[in-house]
């Protein structure tokens, strides 16, 4: 039996999250989406495959985006706050009200 590598699972979550940002458009999701594009080639997006090292770089960028958006969370719409909660759960970070 092969060893389980949680990084692979997270790389798959990154693919799902990028699709989520494209389907559920908002200011919050756009920030995360465009942050992702800094690290991705179009070929990876088209193939729905992201190498682990790139997924880890994307996650680091997403954590910074999350922290930045939380600082202005008081001014976000309800829809944007809902999207921010999605990112909190994905990144396993405390929600915006805890910041």
Which tens digit of pLDDT belongs to each residue from 12-41?
889 999 999 999 999 999 999 999 999 998
Find, among 87, 88, 78, 97, the residue nearest to 21 by Cα.
Answer: 87
Which residues neighbour 53 within 8 Å (Cβ) at sequence distance 6 or greater?
Answer: none
Give pLDDT, residue 1. 43
Give pLDDT, residue 9. 79
Find, among 82, 78, 68, 77, the residue nearest to 35 by Cα.
Answer: 68
CB 46 within 8 A of CB 61: no
Distances (CA, A) of 36 to 1, 19, 24, 67, 97: 33, 11, 15, 16, 25
């Amino acid at each position: 039996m092969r060893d389980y590598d949680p990084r692979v699972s997270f790389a798959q979550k990154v693919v799902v999250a990028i699709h989520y940002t494209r389907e559920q458009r908002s200011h919050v999701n756009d920030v995360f989406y465009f942050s992702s594009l800094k690290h991705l080639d179009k070929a990876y997006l088209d193939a729905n495959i992201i190498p682990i090292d790139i997924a880890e770089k994307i996650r680091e960028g997403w954590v910074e985006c999350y922290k930045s958006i939380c600082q202005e969370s008081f001014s976000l719409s309800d829809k944007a706050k809902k999207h921010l909660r999605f990112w909190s759960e994905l990144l396993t970070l405390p929600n915006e009200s805890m910041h």
